[in-house]
Amino acid sequence: MTVSSSPEPTRTATGLDRRSVLKAGALAGAAVGTSTLAGQAVAAAAADGGAGGGATHGAVFQHGVASGDPMSDRVILWTRVTPSPEATPGSGLGGPVVVVWEISTDPNFSTLARSGTETTTADRDHTVKFDCTGLAPDTWYHYRFRVGDVVSPVGRTRTAPRDDAMPGRARFALVSCSNWEAGFFAGYRHLADRDDIDAVMHVGDYTYEYGVGEYAGKGDFVHRPHDPPHDIVTLADYRIRLAQYRTDPELQRLHAHVPWYCTWDDHETANDNWLHGAENHDPLTQGEWAARRDNSHQAYFEWMPIRVEVRDGAGSVYRRLRFGQLTEISMLDLRTYRDEPPSMFDGRAIDDPNRVKTGAAQFDWLADNFRTSTARWNVIGNSVMIAPVLVPPLDPQVGQALQDVIGLPQDGLPYNADQWDGYAAERRRLFRVMQETGKNNFVFLTGDIHTSWACDLPAAPADYPGAGSVGVEFVTPSITSKNIDDILNLPESSGVSHALQEALRGVNHHVRWVDLDRHGYTIVEFTEGYAHADWFALTAKEDPNAGVYHMASWRVPHGTNLVQPAGQLP
C-alpha cells in the first residue's frame, strides 16, 4: 500500500502537525525504481550482521515485530528494517526499502489471509506501520515481513470480536513503568510465556528520558546504561532511545506474542510534563518545549503499534476501542493537554474548576463515551491514579473552612498532586458524569506510581462508604522503576513500607489494598459477571532470569462498584 503525500500542514500549539503524523503513521510515496537497490543494501546488511540467507532476519529486523489496537476487522502491524549497517535508528541514513508483509491464520503461512507491500525511508526512521484491514473478527493470526530473501521474526496477533458479540471473557496484561537502567524486563518474559492473554495494555512510561545514572535502580545502580547517554531532546535522541528499548529480547517476545493497547505517560517525553513545559525541561539549554514535545511524539508514533488519531491537525493518542459488547476501552492522554501540576498545599489551584488534566476536548469526548456506551464494562486506560489518596480526607465543610482560612484543598492534602488529586475539581466533575449515567461498570486501569493498589472510587472521600462508590481502580506496579524500598534503599517489604501501607489505608478507607515495594504486572479479566485482577511480583528485578509469584487478587462484581478479596484466576 502507498499513501499519498498530504497537503502543506499547519502546526498547532498542542501537538504535531498533520504531515508529521502521516510520516509517522504511513510513508508518503517512495519511488519504485529504488526498491532493487534498497533490497541489495538490505541483503548486504544481513550478511554484515551474520544473518544472510532466506529464513533468517539477523541485523535487518533487529527490533522485532509488533501489533496493536485490534478491532474486529483490522489491527496495526509494525516492524523496523535496517537497510544498511550505517542506517541505525535516528541516523537519517539509508534509502527507501520496499517491505513485503504477510498475515495468515496458519503459523506456517501455507495460506495467506492478506499480503501486500509497504515502502519505508529514513523520514520515518525506516519503521513500517500500517492498519491491516479486511480481517475476520475474533481470530488469531500470524504475521511476518520480508525484504528480498530476509524474513522477519513471526508475530502473533488477534482481532477483536464483532462489536455486537458478547465474548465469554477478555483477559489483558496490565503493565507500566519499564525503566531500562533500573533492572531487567523479566516481567515481559513471564507474560510472553502465557497463552491465556488477549492483549497487553501499557499505560505509560514505556521508556525513560533521563541520561545515564540520573534515575537508575536501587542505590542508584545502573544495570544497563541508556543510549544516548544524555537527557534526550531531539528527534534523533527519542528514536535512538526507543530503538534501544526495542532491542530487549523479552520486550520483543511480548510484542510478538499478542497485540498491545498503549498510551503514554510523562517519561516518554519528560518528567511531569504539561501543556507548556515539564519539571526537567530547561528552555535555556534544551530549546523550546513545543519542539521537544513534538520530537518525542513523532518518534512514539513511528515506533509504537497504535492507531494515531488526528485532531485539529495534530497527532493524538486518546482513542476508543472495543472488545465486543464486553468492554469499551477509553485510552487517555493525561499529559499533553493538562495545566501545570500544583503544589500539594495549593488548595485554590487544586479545586479551581477551570484547571484541567484531560483538556476540554478530551473531557467532553470521555464524558460522551460514558454516556453512549452500551458495553458491559467501561474500561479506562488511565496513566495516573484517579482514586484519592489524602492525608487525611476532610469533611467538605471542614475542608472548605480550611481552604478559606489557609488555602488547603477541600478534600484534604494529596500525597501526590501530579495525580488526579492535583485536579480535584475536574475529577469531581468526571465522577458526577459517571453517576449520572446510572452505569455501575467503570474500571480504571492505571500505572505511573510503581506500586500496587485496589481501590473503590468514593463519591466523597471523607464519607466512604456512606456516599457510595462510582467505580473501581486497579493500579499495576512498575516493571522496574523505583518504588518505596528502592527510594529508601531498604529491603523489600520492610517494616517502614508496611507501616506506610497501613497508614495510607487507615485514613483512606476506599483503598482496599496497597503494596509499595514489589515489581511486576497485573492480569485483569472481564466477564459478564465480574472484573478481576491478579497481581504478580518478580523475585528480583535485578535478575534477568527472575521468577514470579502471585501477590494478591481482587474482584468487583458487576454493578457493585466495590472491590473485594478473591482467589487467583486459573
Residue ranges and CATH numbers for the domains of the chain are 31-158 (2.60.40.380), 170-565 (3.60.21.70)
What is the pairing mode between strands 469-475 and 442-446?
A: parallel
What is the pairing mode between strands 530-538 and 548-557?
A: antiparallel
Q: Which residues pair with 131 in a beta bridge?
A: 76
Rounded distance between C-alpha atoms, residue 512 and residue 4, angstroms: 53
pTM of the model: 0.91
Given this model, what pLDDT does residue 412 score?
85
Rounded distance between C-alpha atoms, residue 366 and residue 426, angstroms: 12
> Each residue's pLDDT tens digit in the chain (570 positions)?
333 322 333 333 334 443 343 343 333 333 333 444 445 555 555 555 433 333 446 789 999 999 999 999 999 999 999 999 999 999 999 999 999 999 999 999 999 999 999 999 999 999 999 999 999 999 999 999 999 999 999 999 999 999 999 999 999 999 999 999 999 999 999 999 999 999 999 999 999 999 999 999 999 999 999 999 999 999 999 999 999 999 999 999 999 999 999 999 999 999 999 999 999 999 999 999 999 999 999 999 999 999 998 898 889 999 999 999 999 999 999 999 999 999 999 999 999 999 999 999 999 999 999 999 999 999 999 999 999 999 877 666 655 654 555 566 888 889 899 999 999 999 999 999 999 999 999 999 999 999 999 999 999 999 999 999 999 999 999 999 999 999 999 999 899 999 999 999 999 999 999 999 999 999 999 999 999 999 999 999 999 999 999 999 999 999 999 999 999 999
493: which DSSP letter?
T
Peptide bond into 396 cis (omega under 30): no
Q: Which of 516, 521, 445 is nearest to 482 (CA)?
A: 516
DSSP states along 116-173: EEEEE-GGGTTEEEEEE-SPPTT-EEEEEEEETTEEPPPEEEEPPPPTT---S-EEEE
Rounded distance between C-alpha atoms, residue 97 and residue 99, angstroms: 6
Given this model, what pLDDT does residue 271 score?
97
Given this model, what pLDDT does residue 403 score?
53
Per-residue pLDDT tens for 56-79?
A: 467 899 999 999 999 999 999 999
Task: Give the cell for residue 281.
Answer: 525541561
Q: Which residues pair with 117 in a beta bridge?
A: 100
What is the pairing mode between strands 309-311 and 314-316?
A: antiparallel
Given this model, what pLDDT does residue 13 score?
35
Are residues 301 and 26 in contact, defined by beta-carbon separation less than 8 angstroms?
A: no
Residues with Cβ < 8 Å from 303, sequence gap 6 or more? Answer: 78, 80, 125, 127, 239, 242, 243, 246
First-last CA distance in the chain: 43
Given this model, what pLDDT does residue 409 score?
80
423: which DSSP letter?
G
Torsion of CA 18, 20, 26, 28, to 10 degrees: 90
**Long-range contacts formed by 414-417: CB under 8 A, 24+ apart:** 414/344, 414/350, 414/388, 414/389, 414/390, 415/344, 415/389, 415/390, 415/391, 415/504, 416/344, 416/385, 416/389, 416/449, 417/341, 417/342, 417/343, 417/344, 417/346, 417/350
Q: Which of 120, 82, 114 is nearest to 101 (CA)?
A: 114
Per-residue pLDDT tens for 510-536?
A: 999 999 999 999 999 999 999 999 999
Are residues 279 and 272 in contact, defined by beta-carbon separation less than 8 angstroms?
A: yes
Residues with Cβ < 8 Å from 108, sequence gap 6 or more? Answer: none
Given this model, what pLDDT does residue 398 score?
53
Rounded distance between C-alpha atoms, residue 309 and residue 166, angstroms: 27
